[in-house]
A and B are shown apart, each in its own frame.
Chain A
Amino acid sequence: MDRRAFLTTLAGTSLAAITPEAVLAASAAANPAWALAVGDIEADLAPRGLRLIHGRAPKGLAGTLYRNGPAKFRRGPGAPAHWFDGDGLVRAFRIGDGKASLAGKFVDTFKRRQDAKFGALVGPGFAATATAGATVRNSDDSNAANTALLPIGGELLALWEQGSPIALDLETLATKGPKTYAPDLAHMPFLAHPRIEPNGRVWNLGVAGHRALVWTLKADGSLEKTGMLELPRASYIHDFTATARSLVIVLQPWIQDKPVQPFAASMSWRPELGTQVLVVDKNDFSKRRLYDLPAFFAFHLGDAWEEADGTIRFDACTEADASFAARGGSQITALKMPDTQVTRLSFITLDADGKGSLEVTALPAEFPKTDPRFAGHGRMKTMVNTVGGGPAKPFLQGVAVSDWRTGKADVFDFGPDHCAEEHLFAPRPGSSRELDGWLVGTSLNLKARATELHVFDASRVSSGPLCSWRADVPLPVGFHGCWV
């Protein structure tokens, strides 16, 4: 087709249909109230103060809540990116002297630069196939750096799943570049959910099919060692957990069994295989146990611990199948209600005699976090997002601390106008008691069209925030962060 014929075709069909009235009508009909949660941010956010809208900041609370999440999904004429494929925007919510501020910067990835150059989404992703002509030499060329953050070695590492951590400056959020710990480890995958021992030592996995590279970093951020782990199946592994002694790897039956692109299409949901849990000794990978559980899907797990008799316990936010991962993440950025299940807080017990059990509670829950000082050791409390997630809005709107000892959850509901985001624990200075301190986290207020920052007393969540600040901008709902 020559250029003239192409233009004629365009004018005769698609362009003729695009009138301002048609755009407006389609937009009003198609855009749900939660559209802001997957909106696009076009530029970095210069530092700005946040407005105190409620209460007063507790004395002794000072630090920065860093958060990461995709914030640019649309370029050019094609479909929006899958929720997991948007460009990572790192946000710094700084709290001190009773005041709060916000700054944000996109991670300056090869992917983002290439997409900008093409004016289109050209790289491969969780649910995207690479466009012909795009440069994709290795996994870091498609690294969106959009999932989580690890503060270590004086740097902030922006984490994805299939590629290298990308180092950022803690103060300016400026991108330094992909982290290469040794020449032969370049472009190796590094999951977005490292497990951090209370002494600062970091364990992580990098997964490709039936094999996982086990990363161990020292507390100063340098590489301690790596090792290779053979897995019994090529499960989708977004997160894993660990006790003081063992790595605990949930192998759900969403299995890579087709050599096709994109990634999500290479996976099959095989519930008849059940979910397995592989327990591996941190010091000797040949010491391993495999447990069988009923089929479930989970993105996120809580820190695990091991009791004196060898029983391992941990929590997980489980759903019935992989439909959200397979399809929901594309539907959500297309502003359609996703095919999804309610995700619930569950408790997994692995007995020393080889039997495992799964207890699913009634509490809707995602983004589980725990007191990091107890990682790998016995603890009773789990922070989650909760309330909602029903047909009106595919996001949770509350926050809770669930106590495994009492079986009760201390819940606060922000209300239907909010999309709650992950809340993290900030310890009270001088105290070492589990979860004695504050929850610090954010929500997107859809009605006010603004992101809000909240502080709760961790022992009285249902009393509501001790204080809340409001930004002058609505940021799309993000994924994970860290409190520094």
Chain B
Amino acid sequence: MFNRSAHALLAACLLTAIAVVNAPHAEAQEPGEVSVTFSGITAPKGALFVGLYDSEAAFAGGQPAQGYQLAVTGPSVATAIKGLKPGRYAIKVYHDIDGDGRMNTNAFGIPTEPYAASNNAPSTMGPPAWADAVFEVGADGATQTIGID
């Protein structure tokens, strides 16, 4: 069962993703591309707000290294994040179905719009953990298929 502290934690950690579209884009030092497909979308409208993080601290509540707003018109959305330095990254995403630019919650703080993370890291009564969501970007880049529904 959810208690109030779980609600608050979950909402606080996910809401930081709102900032992603205004985050400065990292300068590409070396080529590295992540192909990302967001699948399982049930409401084909609004936008995905995507944050790419390069550290555990940022993933837990700081600023993303890069942020994207991707229009949703069907059951999946594909994009490529290019120009990444080799290293360890993680993605958080929420689906802004009603287009109000916020990740909505109900009156008790439970998210009411879908959210997900890279590696389909589970959300176990709280935000997904960096350890579950982190992936390597090497010289050959990386591929992520993230279910969000």
Residues of A within 8 A of B (CB): 124-126, 130-139, 142, 162, 183-189, 206, 208-209, 211, 213, 228, 256, 259-263, 266
Contact = CB atoms under 8 A, between A and B. Distances in A.
18 contacts: A134-B122, A134-B124, A135-B123, A135-B124, A136-B123, A137-B111, A183-B104, A184-B107, A186-B112, A208-B4, A208-B7, A209-B4, A211-B108, A260-B3, A261-B1, A261-B6, A262-B1, A266-B3
Interface string B107-146: 1101110010000001111000000100000000000000
A100 B4 CA distance: 46
Nearest to A161: B1
B124 A139 contact: no
A187 B122 contact: no
A142 B112 contact: no
B29 interface: no
Contacts of B98: 183
B1 A228 contact: no
Nearest to A186: B112
Nearest to A208: B108
A189 B122 CA distance: 22
Contacts of B110: 138-139, 186-188
Contact of B3 (A184, A186, A206, A209): A209
Interface of B is mostly: loop
A187 B124 contact: no
A133 B124 contact: yes
Nearest to B109: A208
Contacts, number: 78
A351 to B, nearest CB: 34
B124 A132 contact: yes
A184 B2 contact: no
Interface of A is mostly: loop
A186 B110 CA distance: 8
A456 B40 CA distance: 51
Contacts of B1: 124-126, 139, 142, 162, 261-263
A250 B2 CA distance: 22
Given A136-B125, A138-B111, 8 more contacts: A135-B122, A184-B107, A187-B106, A206-B108, A259-B4, A260-B3, A261-B125, A263-B1
B33 to A, nearest CB: 29
B36 to A, nearest CB: 20
A211 B7 CA distance: 14
A184 B124 contact: no
Given A130-B124, A134-B124, A261-B125, A187 B112 contact: yes
B125 A124 contact: yes
A417 B107 CA distance: 47
Contacts of A261: 1, 3, 6, 125
Contacts of B97: 183
Instruction: Name the residue among A138, A189, A228, A266 with the largest chain B CB count within 10 angstroms.
Output: A138
B3 A256 contact: yes
A257 to B, nearest CB: 11
B63 to A, nearest CB: 24
Given A136-B125, A261-B125, A189 B108 contact: yes
Contacts of B107: 184, 188, 211, 213, 228
A465 B76 CA distance: 59
B106 A188 contact: yes
Nearest to A135: B122
A165 to B, nearest CB: 15
Contacts of A208: 2-4, 7, 108
A184 B125 contact: no
Contacts of A262: 1
B2 A139 contact: yes
A167 to B, nearest CB: 16
A421 to B, nearest CB: 25
B3 to A, nearest CB: 6
A143 B119 CA distance: 25
A422 B123 CA distance: 38
Contacts of A162: 1-2
A189 B109 CA distance: 12
Nearest to B112: A186
A188 B111 CA distance: 10
A408 to B, nearest CB: 41
Q: Which 7 A-B pairs have the closest CB atoms?
A: A263-B1, A259-B5, A186-B112, A208-B108, A135-B122, A187-B110, A137-B123
A122 B97 CA distance: 29
Nearest to B106: A188
B1 to A, nearest CB: 4
Contact of A136 (B7, B108, B112, B124): B124
